[in-house]
Amino acid sequence: MTDRYLELVCPAGTPAALRAAVDAGADSVYCGFRDSTNARNYPGLNFDPDELRAGVAYAHARGCRVFVAVNTFARAGDPGPWHRAIDAAADCGADAVILADLGALDYAARHHPGLRRHLSVQAAAASALAIRFYQEAFGISRVVLPRVLSVEDVAALIGKIDIEAEVFAFGSFGTMVEGRCFLSSYFTGRSPSCDGVCAPAEHVTYREEDGGLTVRLGAAMMNRFAPGEPGAYPTPCKGRFLARGRPTYLFDEPEALNVVSVLAPLKAAGVTALKIEGRQRGRAYVSKVVAAFRQILDRQAAGAPLPPDVAAELRALAEGGRETLGAYAKGWR
């Protein structure tokens, strides 16, 4: 891994997506089990232990590592599924588990001390102090940084820690600190933290009314689109609301993160790995995004210019066809 410009960590929502990511040039893939122990607990996604074992074999045979996300918060009185997920990840030969819950971290550190522990973005460790806390308490080897830091913040933070840092590079992103947002459950009763779902589809309704398309999450209107206006999924932090009497995307516009324009500063900041978001995405999407990033990183490593068509392809894949640097850019706050 040391000869890589930056390690490319790619989403594998299904066994097919795992193979697609590996084939397209992922250095590592991450996936989860088919239950509420992971933060992409959507129908038709995820792995059972046998599928994970086969996925690990496929990846390892091609020099790719597999991380298993067990990154929701265990239910009170019912930690068994979280413990079993960690046991199964170890048993299947995963290279690391990605954890957020203090209880799950504690369990993994005690029962599987030899299994690498990565701190999930859901733990929202946004400072050197917080990261050192998790390092000393649970021996984490890597932190996935919250999407609330500027490139300058990332550089300053990495200078104060001595474990690996992984940052989000591409895909959907919320504007709230991860793992600490209850908006989805406020409207639906189900949350990313506990159920592994944000704005679950069974709570979404679209209706033609007043000459436009209204979209609701639970009972609450998240947006209304005029005829011809492109729609967007009603993730609560991407909704359009009235504030001070004005309709506004109060939290953030529907747009996707893309860090291609700041790869060199992120590398200089000491970042170890780039994470592509999107375990809920299909095999074709994963294939395209991973291949594009593979090409970009290899060019970057060789000091070669980036091919313009690759940048255009990524933009076309972005949510709403719009890209942003999010919090990485100064002034986003």
Partner 1 sequence: MSSLTLGPLLFHWTPARRRDFYARIADEAPVACVYLGEVVCSKREAWFSKDLPAIAERLRRAGKQVVFSTPALITTEREAAAVRARCDAGDLIEVNDLACVQLLQGHRFVAGPLLNVFNEGALAVLLRLGAVRIGVPVELPAAAIATLARHNSSGETEVFAFGRQPLAIAQRCYHARAHDLHKDDCRFVCGEDTDGLPATQLDGGPLLAVNGTQTLTHGHVVLLDALAGLAAAGVSHFRLSPHAIDMVAVATIYRAVLDGATAAEEGLARLREIAGSIAFINGYLRGQAGMNWRPARERGEALKTMPA
Residue 26, interface with partner 1 (CB under 8 A)? Answer: no
- Among residues 44 and 77, whose Cβ is nearest to partner 1? 77
Residue 205, interface with partner 1 (CB under 8 A)? Answer: no
Min dist CB 320 to partner 1, Å, is 18
Rounded Cα distance between 238 and 259, Å, is 20
Gyration radius from the chain CA atoms: 19
Residue 185, interface with partner 1 (CB under 8 A)? Answer: yes
Are 178 and 277 a contacting pair, CB within 8 Å? Answer: no
Residue with tokens 């995820």: 46
- Letters for 150-179 (x = contact with partner 1 by CB under 8 A, - = none) are ---x---------------------xxx-x
Residue 302, interface with partner 1 (CB under 8 A)? Answer: no
Residue 73, interface with partner 1 (CB under 8 A)? Answer: yes
Coil, strand or helix at 108 = helix
Q: Checking phi first, is residue 296 left (phi over 0); if not, alpha (psi -120 to 50) or beta?
A: alpha
Residue 100, interface with partner 1 (CB under 8 A)? Answer: yes
Min dist CB 322 to partner 1, Å, is 17
Phi, psi of 14 (to 5 degrees): -140, 165
Coil, strand or helix at 227 = coil
Min dist CB 192 to partner 1, Å, is 11
Q: Which of 52, 16, 13, 31 is nearest to 281 (CA)?
A: 13
Interface with partner 1 (CB under 8 A): 73-79, 100-107, 124-127, 129-130, 132-134, 136-137, 148-149, 153, 175-177, 179-183, 185-189, 191, 193-194, 218-221, 223-224, 237, 240-244, 247-248, 250-252, 327, 331-333
